[in-house]
Structure 1
Amino acid sequence: MDLLVETVEPRGVVRLTLNRPEVRNAFDDRLIAELTEAVLRHGRDPAVRVIVLAAQGRAFSAGADLGWMRRMADFSRSENLIDALELARMLQVIDLCPKPTVALVQGVAYGGGVGLVAACDIALAAEPALFCLSEVRLGLIPAVISPYVIRAIGPRACRRLFLTAETFGAQRALGLGLVSDVVAADALEGVAAAVIAALLAGAPEAQSEVKDLIRLVENSVMDEALLRESAVRIADRRSSDEAREGMAAFLEKRSPVWMTPDPEGEEARACFHDC
């Protein structure tokens, strides 16, 4: 059985589905390697526009596989470090992916599963979804996921949730900023389709640069250097081929070249012209 199921639509939407429902889509070294490779490969593919991370079964991801973690407990410190770095690299690859990433959280996300959610650009949760940063109850700490979770919900909320390991629902995850929207379980795919349509209306190179811009600004102080860098970036973008095409398409009331005809295209085109 494939641990990760990949589907690619002609319009450039890639769906990566965690496929270990018997263990609530917990990840081990094999799934970590497969997910890392898949995101790297699709992230480099110019034909790919959006990467969706989903899961099979009732759970999104229970985090690290406990059987795998038990085996790791008998490994040396250096072996554990190598293994932990692979998990850290997987999250970094998702976070730094140049393509927009969307997590569809249909069920529980525990431990490292919360890290997967936090590393994606957009996370949509079904109302029954539950979240828990459960590491301390196992004598562990949420170390490699902490940069993404702390960035998403802030250090104050993490102090409570990392320490108590309490379970919280989708509405609280929304209030914390961990997820972008909470919808009925049977509406999750429909809302995802609308979000994907909106993403397909954007220029792909501009979207990649937007992600890089956010990383720059969130790690910078508001000084003259940042003001100049932001001015340089918009000046360069104004003279880009994408910007010329985007402005021309808007003024001529047509779709830009990066929007290909597809069943969701009408909604995407409406989003483009209504902006």
Structure 2
Amino acid sequence: MYQTILTEVDAGVGIITLNCAERHNAFDDVLIGELTQAIAAMTQDAAVRVIVLSSSGKSFCAGADLNWMRRAANYSDAENLRDARALAEMLRCLAQCPKPTIARVQGPAYAGGVGLVACCDIAIAVFDAQFSLPEVRIGIVPATISPYVISAIGKRHAHRYMLTAERFSAAVAYRIGLVHELVADEAALDNAIGEIVEDLLKNAPDASAECKSLITAVANKPLTPDIIEDTAQRITRLRASTEGREGMRAFLEKRKPHWAANETF
């Protein structure tokens, strides 16, 4: 179905794998389009409750593909804008996906690869992964990924790593908030992600989507009367929802709610 990615759905988990190992899973227009399609399809698929973004080979994602960059050097402004909008839309689809998303970072992530990591809700990386935002070294800026990277690492760290374009280690990525956990190797990576997936599948699907919406609504916002009223309205609505009522009944009856009936606690 796809040329540059692999997809599968198993036991509630949708896995999207960047599958261009020979070019370090670097972006081009085809990969961007296919990744956008896959994210949208899994967002609409009721069988998918968690999405894992993975990669084949040694690299997670090396940013823009060199051949694509060579073609882009001769593009008109209109063609460059078309490509930029396509990349921005793919990142938006990933960042605003209502389902929990996990980045499985088994190797280096540069430029747009860092953007993919930042767009995911949760990111786990191996100890020897490296990261870089090298755009200024080739006369451009990390524009389309900037909202997500700055949200993940903060303005202060963005000043350093976007301006220096230096490579930084997984330990630094962990310290500045780009990744949540570091593990020794790919086996440990899969185990760590499996544990997180197990936790996520215990949760109500609609409530998980509502929780993502809540975080977006209140993060870095001043505590105004409108924010306070919005949070009150949200919990009122969810208490009366089908999931809210089922979750409360299950808690009081000391049983699993229906969405976790097949999960082990």
TM range (shorter): over 0.9
Return the letter of the residue paired with 1:208.
A
Cα deviation 1:137-158 (Å, max 9, x = unaligned): 2222101000000110011111
Corresponding residue for 1:108? 108
Return the letter of the residue paired with 2:110.
Y
Q: Cα distance, 1:221 vs. partner?
A: 2.2
What is the CA–CA distance in structure 2 between the aligned matches of 1:66 and 1:20, rounded to whole Å? Answer: 13
Q: How does 1:113-192 map to 2 (within 5 A)?
A: 113-185=113-185, 186-192=187-193
Asked if residue 13 in structure 1 is aligned to residue 13 in structure 2, the reply is yes
Q: Cα distance, 1:124 vs. partner?
A: 0.5
Corresponding residue for 1:224? 225
Corresponding residue for 1:96? 96
Q: Cα distance, 1:45 vs. partner?
A: 1.8
Deviates more, 1:211-220 or 1:175-184: 211-220
What is the CA–CA distance in structure 2 between the aligned matches of 1:247 and 1:171, rounded to whole Å? Answer: 40
Corresponding residue for 1:242? 243
TM-score when scaled to structure 2? 0.97
Return the letter of the residue paired with 1:229.
D
Q: Cα distance, 1:256 vs. partner?
A: 1.2
What is the CA–CA distance in structure 1 between the aligned matches of 2:70 and 2:144, rounded to whole Å? Answer: 18
Return the letter of the residue paired with 2:176.
L
What is the CA–CA distance in structure 1 between the aligned matches of 2:135 and 2:188, rounded to whole Å? Answer: 31
Q: Cα distance, 1:46 vs. partner?
A: 1.9
Superposed CA RMSD in Å reads 1.1
What is the CA–CA distance in structure 2 between the aligned matches of 1:115 and 1:32, rounded to whole Å? Answer: 13
Asked if residue 2 in structure 1 is aligned to residue 3 in structure 2, the reply is yes
TM-score when scaled to structure 1? 0.93
Q: Cα distance, 1:62 vs. partner?
A: 0.2
The number of residues matched between the two structures is: 263
Corresponding residue for 2:49? 49
What is the CA–CA distance in structure 2 between the aligned matches of 1:127 and 1:250, rounded to whole Å? Answer: 39
| Uncovered stretches (5+) of structure 2, i.e. residues with no partner | none
Cα deviation 1:195-215 (Å, max 9, x = unaligned): 000000110000001111111
What is the CA–CA distance in structure 1 between the aligned matches of 2:221 and 2:238, rounded to whole Å? Answer: 21
Corresponding residue for 1:84? 84
Corresponding residue for 1:24? 24
Corresponding residue for 1:256? 257
Return the letter of the residue paired with 2:236.
A
Identity %: 51
